[in-house]
A and B are shown apart, each in its own frame.
Chain A
Amino acid sequence: MYEACALSFSRRNRAILDRVDFSVAPGRTVAIVGPNGAGKSTLLKLLTGELAPSSGEIRLDGKPLASFAPQELAHRRAVLPQSASVSFPFTVAEIVALGAVGRFTRAEKESLVARALSTVEMPQFAARFYDELSGGERQRVQLARVFAQLWAGGGNGYLLLDEPTSSLDLSHQLLTLELARQHAATGAGVICVLHDLNLAAMAADEIVALKNGRVVAAGAPSAIVTDALMAELYGVTCKVGAVPEGPFVLPQSVQRQSRH
């Protein structure tokens, strides 16, 4: 269980998050959505332990997050960054092998790397230089690294993703979210910051909508993605449609309102 209770974060006297409650149970996928500046990335940084909250508490497996040593934390959760540049000419295999946190033999690392690269459909990229890949390929290599880290930690750690689909084409967006779902299906939790409401509605069991640092709605996608919420979150008028798999938003139906 990943739980945050009355989480606040402020910087230079400006509140970025205001008493946010948030929880993810094992086996569940939760998407965090909201307009730019809503505090999505900050919430994720607090959940990873990268930032410390100004007030409130985060507990992981019942233990305060702050009491975890960095390596212990690395075995319980892995984080896919939005984009990552690498300062030296590492190969793809070397990057993915960084996920093998802990003591592993070279053979163990190599099989972990091979499995992770196959999972993201890039087995033939092992010997390529990371610098020379496209943005989308890099993103998938990072995803492979993250899976290597989760497996190295026993496989049931939480997966945290920050805009995982930003630089991917449609088929790889779907692959990424499918892999996240599969990870949740093994009984682990997934937390995902997503811009695209349709992807969020499709991939998540639960959506948490943030605006101005507060949770404005939380619940199942069909209950969250509504005409009213679209107006409240983004200031747009639109007609939310529905298919048996869940709600969807067509950009063509959207009209911007003047913001206030």
Chain B
Amino acid sequence: MSATVSGTLMAPLGRGSTGLWVCAVLLVAAMIGSLAIGPVTIEPGHVLGILYDALTGTRPSGGNALRDAIIVLDIRLPRMILGVLVGGSLAVAGVLLQGIFRNPLADPIFVGVSPGAALAAVAFIVLGGGVVIGASDFIGRFGLVLSAFFGALTATVVLHQLTVHEGRTSVAALLFTGIALGALASAGTGILLFLASDQQLREFTFWSFGSLGGATWIKVAMLVPFALLSFVIAGVLAHGLDAIALGEAEAFHLGVNVERLKRLAIVAVAAGAGGSVAVSGTIGFIGLVIPHLLRLMIGPSHKKLLIGSALLGAAILVAADVGARTVVTPAELPIGVVTAFLGAPFFLWLLRRYRASLGG
């Protein structure tokens, strides 16, 4: 009797480890692929050789070897790393939003967090007197990320204040409030871009659909502290997020400091989503689709879900970026267009699944 009991238990408490390895392998494949694929195709083996040489300090002699090294190390590598950080941050931000609002349909872009970050970032550029335009001014760029962070923070706090009542929030109320907040922020962004000079106006697609184009090591360095902050906080909160799935009161009964958890989670969401928006514009659906796929694959326990989401979010965004820059060469699609094509049908399918909780 007791043997069969623990036998049936092994699976439910232990599910998911294989899934995490699958995510890790997919990420490595996407990373190597994104360094190999482009207008000039470089064999994956050659890519690894270039990376190895760079790590050991060996300089290529010249000719094609030098050209390939420059393409891989100076053009594709920063873009790939930026994609890894943005994809991981957005997916983790999605998990955190869904966790604290107890709502599987939350995504930074639909609940107004990313639009809020974009508004703050555009306001910084347009009203900040062009400090950052065309300059590699470190402080200016850092100010941009910081203001996107505060924009995302404000949007998340407002969303929380408007939708959570006595520890409860309805799925529909969160989405509708998010739509309104997002529309408001986008309208503000629109006004600012209208006031802006032509050069800045061309950035409109960047803020509404996102892009990893123009990735530089400086952008990577700007995002790293924000992404790390969100990952570290998420790791600390994993257990409490599991308990909050039962309800805020129940989580408190289980010994979770609910208010502290929500405050930290909101900061982590703002750091991950806000930081990402500052360097890559608003990219949708990663925060929605990735956590959901992983819950189907490895279950909803947050420790594994967060690790898996960071890995798979990074993998999918890097792969989507390969698509964005190869499908219509020599032009480039905004990456948000690619993720929307993949994510929107998935979202529609989810809406059908959750129609009961939406009152339909």
Contact = CB atoms under 8 A, between A and B. Distances in A.
Contacts of A89: 295, 299-300
Given A70-B255, A90-B299, A114-B6, A85 B247 contact: yes
B63 interface: no
Interface in B2-50: 2, 5-6, 8-14
Q: Main SS of the interface on chain B?
A: helix
B255 A88 contact: no
Contact of B255 (A73, A93, A97, A113): A73
A99 B251 CA distance: 10
Given A114-B6, A127-B8, A88 B300 contact: yes
B13 A106 contact: yes
B242 interface: yes
A123 B1 CA distance: 9
Interface stretch (A76-84, A201-209, A250-258): A76-84
Contacts of B263: none
Interface string B243-280: 10111011011111100000000000000000000000
B188 interface: no
Given A78-B253, A98-B242, A93 B12 contact: yes
Contacts of A73: 255
B247 A111 contact: no
Nearest to A95: B246
Contact of B247 (A70, A84, A91, A118): A84
Given A92-B12, A93-B12, A114-B5, 16 more contacts: A48-B252, A50-B252, A81-B247, A81-B249, A84-B246, A85-B247, A90-B300, A91-B299, A94-B299, A94-B301, A98-B246, A110-B6, A114-B6, A118-B5, A126-B5, A126-B9
Interface string A106-137: 10011101100110000110110000000000
A38 interface: no
Interface residues of B, number: 32
Contacts, number: 104
A93 to B, nearest CB: 4
B245 A88 contact: yes
Given A118-B5, A126-B5, A75 B246 contact: no
Interface of B: 1-2, 5-6, 8-14, 98, 102-104, 242-243, 245-247, 249-250, 252-257, 295, 299-301
Contacts of A114: 2, 5-6, 9
A244 to B, nearest CB: 37
A83 to B, nearest CB: 10
Q: Main SS of the interface on chain A?
A: helix
A1 interface: no
Interface of A: 45, 48-50, 69-75, 77-79, 81, 84-95, 97-99, 101, 106, 109-111, 113-114, 117-118, 123-124, 126-127, 149
Contacts of A49: 252
B252 A87 contact: no
10 contacts: A48-B252, A49-B252, A73-B255, A88-B104, A89-B299, A90-B245, A98-B243, A110-B13, A114-B2, A126-B9
A89 B242 CA distance: 11
Q: Which interface residue of A84, A93, A117 has the most chain B CB atoms within 10 A?
A: A93
A211 to B, nearest CB: 24
Given A91-B299, A110-B6, A126 B12 contact: yes
A124 B242 CA distance: 23
Given A87-B103, A93-B13, A99 B255 contact: no
B254 A97 contact: no
A97 B249 CA distance: 17
B144 to A, nearest CB: 35
Given A86-B245, A87-B103, A98-B243, A93 B254 contact: no
B346 to A, nearest CB: 17
B295 A126 contact: no
Contacts of B252: 48-50, 70
A73 B98 CA distance: 27
Contacts of B9: 93, 110, 113-114, 126-127
Given A71-B255, A74-B255, A88-B300, A50 B249 contact: yes
Contact of A123 (B5, B256, B257): B5
B12 A127 contact: yes
A233 to B, nearest CB: 27
Contact of B253 (A74, A95, A118, A126): A74
A109 B13 CA distance: 9
Given A111-B6, A126-B5, A94 B13 contact: yes
Contacts of A75: 255
Contacts of A117: 5
A87 B102 contact: yes
A9 to B, nearest CB: 15
B256 A70 contact: yes
Contacts of A88: 98, 104, 245, 295, 300
Q: Which interface residue of B10, B11, B252, B255 has the most chain A CB atoms within 10 A?
A: B255
Contacts of A79: 250, 253
B249 to A, nearest CB: 5
B251 to A, nearest CB: 9
A86 B12 contact: no
Contact of A81 (B8, B250, B256): B250
